[in-house]
Amino acid sequence: MRQIILDTETTGLTVEDDHRIIEIGCIELRHRRVTEHRFHTYLNPEREVDAGAAAVHGMTRDKLRDAPRFGDVVEEFLAFVRGAELIIHNAAFDVGFLDRELARVGPAWGRLSDYCSVFDTLTLARELHPGQRNSLDALCKRYEVDNAHRSLHGALLDAELLAEVYLGLTGGQGALSFEGASAGARAAPSANLAAGLRVRPPGVRLTPSEADLTAHAARLAVIDQRSAGRCLWLAASTPA
C-alpha cells in the first residue's frame, strides 16, 4: 500500500475565520519504509498570519509574499496524494483546511476524500494510550523519536517525525530507512506491539473482474495441459 504522511501549517486555528494553509509537507511510505519522494511547498495565504500561529511556525505574511498560491500547486499536490492512504495526526484539522482550499479553487476540484483515504494517528494514539497526552511531541517522547531539533513547527519536519511515530504506533519495523535522508531505525516498545496490530486499519479486498477470471482460467488450462493433467489448483477448483 502506498501511504503519504501529511502535515500542514496554517495562518490560524479555524477555517471558519478564513484562515489559510501556508505550508504542506508530504512524505511517501511504501511497504512501511520511508522513500525519497516528497511533496513540499510554502503558500502565499493572501492574508495576515495570526501572532499565535507565527510563534509556532515562525512564518509571516512578508516571508510568504513570493510563495505560490494553492491554486498554483493544486494539480501537483493531488497527483502526489492520488490513490494513497494519507496518515495525518489530528486529521480533521488538516482535511478541513485542505477541503476549504480546494473549494476556493473551484467546485470541480471536489474534496480530498475524492482522491485518497485518510487515517488519523491521533485517534489510534487515544485508543492505545487513553487518558494520556497524545500530541506529536508526547508521542515522540513515548516512542523514543528524537525531536530535539524541532524548535519550531514545520510541515515537512513534522511529517518526518510522524512517519516514525506512526511506525511505532502500528507495531514498528525491522529497519526504518529514510532513503536519501538521515534517520535511525527505531522499534516500537514491545508493550504496544499486540495492541498496535489489533487496531490497524483493515486490508483492502480486491474483487477480480470477469476479464481477470477468464484470463486466470485460460492460464490454468495451459498449465494443466503442460503438466499432463496435474495442475493442483485446477483440480481443487473443479467439483467432484
**What are the extents of the domains in the chain?**
2-198, 207-240
- Return the closest-CA partner of residue 186 out of 197, 194, 174: 174
Cell numbers for 118: 485518510
**Is 113:31 a contact under the CB 8 Å cutoff?**
no
**Alpha helix ranges (H) inside 106-192:** 121-128, 136-142, 155-169
Contacts of 226 (CB under 8 A, 6+ apart): none
Mean pLDDT in residue range 138-163: 91
Identify the active-site residue in 19, 57, 153, 216: 153
pLDDT band per the 50, 70, 90 thresholds, residue 152:
confident
Cell numbers for 65: 509574499
In the prediction, which pLDDT does 217 show? 74
The structure's pTM equals 0.71
Contacts of 55 (CB under 8 A, 6+ apart): none
Q: What are phi and psi of 12, to 5 degrees?
A: -175, -170
Mean pLDDT in residue range 198-225: 63
In the prediction, which pLDDT does 207 show? 64
Cell numbers for 24: 504542506
Spatial distance between the Cα atoms of 101 and 44, rounded to a whole number of angstroms: 12
Could you confirm whether 19 is annotated as catalytic?
no
Q: What are phi and psi of 39, to 5 degrees?
A: -130, 125
Q: What is the 8-class DSSP label of residue 238?
A: S
- Tell me the helices (H) and strands (E) count for the chain, helix number first: 9, 5
Identity of residue 99:
D
Q: Where does residue 114 rank: exposed (0-12), middle (13-18), buried (19+ CB within 10 A)?
A: exposed
CATH number of 2-198: 3.30.420.10
Spatial distance between the Cα atoms of 183 and 145, rounded to a whole number of angstroms: 10
Bigger pLDDT: 96 or 208? 96
Contacts of 213 (CB under 8 A, 6+ apart): none
Q: Which helix (H) or strand (E) holds 74?
A: helix 70-81
Q: 50-61 burial, b if ≥16 CB within 10 A, otherwise e?
A: eeebbeebebee
pLDDT band per the 50, 70, 90 thresholds, residue 235:
low
Cell numbers for 196: 498496535
User: Which of 13-22, 137-146, 168-177 has the lowest average pLDDT?
Assistant: 168-177
CA count, 13 A, side-chain hemisphere, 196:
18
